Chains A and B, each alone.
Chain A
Amino acid sequence: MKPAAFEYHAPKTIAEAVALLAEVAPDDGRILAGGQSLVPTMAFRLARPAHLVDINGVDGLDRLYLDGNELSIGACVRHAAFHRPVVDGRLGLLLSSIVRHIAHYPIRQRGTFCGSLAQADPASEWCLTAVTLDGTMTAKSVRGSRTIGAQDFIEGIMTTALADDELLTEARLPIPPDDTRFGFCEFNRIAGGFAVAMVLAAYGLKDGVITRPRLGVGGVEERPRRIPEAEQALEGRSPGAQAFRAASAAAAGAVDPMEDINTSADYRRDLVATLTLRALESAWS
């Protein structure tokens, strides 16, 4: 189908963009970033925004840079920017392996990291990444600017803490300590499809035992989250089958999986067990 009529705005600066957004938000005006979620929704006429504020021409939003100990990802940084490692070390490699699971190459040329966060699909890889690694989001409006932690930013299925007049200008990911190991594992039925379930694991090692464990699960509940029960099962244990199995059982026991026509809750729970184990093993190997 074809999108309904709307008025198109193409601001050049952040100040112009937020001023326009403040003006049109009450009339269902929205931001257009990569358009890779919004345009299909408009084609189905599930969304009929009266105004679109296109941020693709806004100065400075395409910046991706290391700011001290944080990676700053501007609102127009495309998924494709992560195809090659954007920072030295394991984090860059991790992001370049995760991005391959997001849609397909041509979609990754347009879709943005921040757009994924704003869309807040429960199966979004970047939402899981931001939550597991404690990312922060910067929201700007004519009323001012605020910083929101990833876990608070993503409120539920396609619902975020952003107000209608707020522009997400950047996301920040803290650079984890050098010795941090990562493992990411996703299951889906078709190439490039949305995840049925996915797990991101991270931990450091100190004196041969696991420290700072993080275990995030996405695509399973209404929003991605870390699973404290699984992290407790890892903390202070030596890495290996025993600890990994304990964490896998703890994660599977802790989640409250969504169901859909193809996927029962039990099936998703089984996937969480398997993917947790594989993510932890892949971080170790």
Chain B
Amino acid sequence: MNGKHDITLTINGQAYAIRVEARRTLADVIREECGQTGTHLGCEHGVCGTCTVIVDGAPVRSCLMFAVQCDGAKIRTVEGLADGEEPHPLQRAFMEHHALQCGFCTPGFLMLAVGVLEREPDIGDEDLLDILSSNLCRCTGYANIVKAVRAAAAQMRRR
């Protein structure tokens, strides 16, 4: 029953060979076994989005997957966004547009928006708004998050 599984998670290019119980969510394992605590947990049932990470190219709720399901998968978290000391264009846009206050929701918004913009660089403003409604923020009132993501989208398209 409490059998453990030997799996390898590749997080931001680094392989973590770990042993986990099946019941452990991807979010918990990223934070605890792999020590990458940039991914946050709020509700643990799919509602808030702060646990959003990118698994094999798709932004997903990491509290709603089991880590065993991700054996061999490529996972990206907020720790992997910056290029050395140089923040990702979206991280810079969040700073410039005051898109965070307490910052609890920020990793989730960043991974959500990066995941979507990489797949759909030409996404329209309406669709972007719909996508940003996936995650909750208790501080900013959203307007600045929308501004930051739109600004970064424009910049990422120019690149």
Chain A residues within CB distance 8 Å of chain B: 1-8, 10, 32, 35-36, 39-40, 42-44, 50, 52, 54, 56, 80, 100, 103-107, 109-110, 191-192
Contacts and interface: CB of A to CB of B under 8 A. Distances in A.
14 contacts: A5-B2, A6-B23, A8-B5, A10-B68, A36-B46, A36-B64, A39-B46, A80-B58, A104-B134, A104-B135, A105-B112, A105-B116, A105-B134, A110-B64
Given A35-B66, A109-B58, A110-B61, 15 more contacts: A2-B25, A4-B23, A5-B21, A7-B3, A8-B22, A8-B68, A35-B64, A36-B46, A39-B25, A43-B45, A80-B58, A105-B131, A105-B134, A106-B52, A110-B65
Interface string B102-119: 000000000010011000
Contacts of A52: 22
Contacts of A3: 23, 25
Interface string B11-53: 0000000000111110010000000000000001110010010
Contacts of B21: 5
Contacts of A104: 49, 131, 133-135
Contacts of B24: 2
B45 A44 contact: yes
Closest 5 CB pairs of A and B: A104-B134, A8-B22, A191-B133, A40-B45, A109-B58
B106 to A, nearest CB: 16
A108 to B, nearest CB: 9
Interface of B: 1-3, 5, 21-25, 28, 44-46, 49, 52, 58-61, 63-66, 68-69, 112, 115-116, 130-131, 133-135
Contact of A5 (B1, B5, B58): B1
A131 to B, nearest CB: 25
Contacts of A32: 66
Contacts of A106: 49, 52, 58-61, 112, 115, 134
Contacts of A100: 130
- B49, B52, B69, B131 — most chain A CB neighbours (10 Å): B69
Q: Is the interface of A mostly helix, strand, loop or mixed?
A: loop
Contact of B63 (A8, A10, A43, A54): A43
A109 B61 CA distance: 9
A36 B44 CA distance: 12
Nearest to A54: B69
Given A2-B28, A105-B116, A106-B134, A39 B23 contact: no
A80 B58 CA distance: 10
A56 B66 CA distance: 12
Given A39-B63, A106-B60, A109-B59, A191 B46 contact: no
Nearest to A50: B1
Contact of B134 (A2, A110, A192): A192
B128 to A, nearest CB: 10
Contacts of B131: 104-105
Nearest to A39: B64
A105 B44 CA distance: 17
A39 B60 contact: no
Contacts of B115: 106
Contacts of B68: 8, 10
Nearest to A8: B22
A217 B61 CA distance: 30
A213 B3 CA distance: 55
A10 B71 CA distance: 12
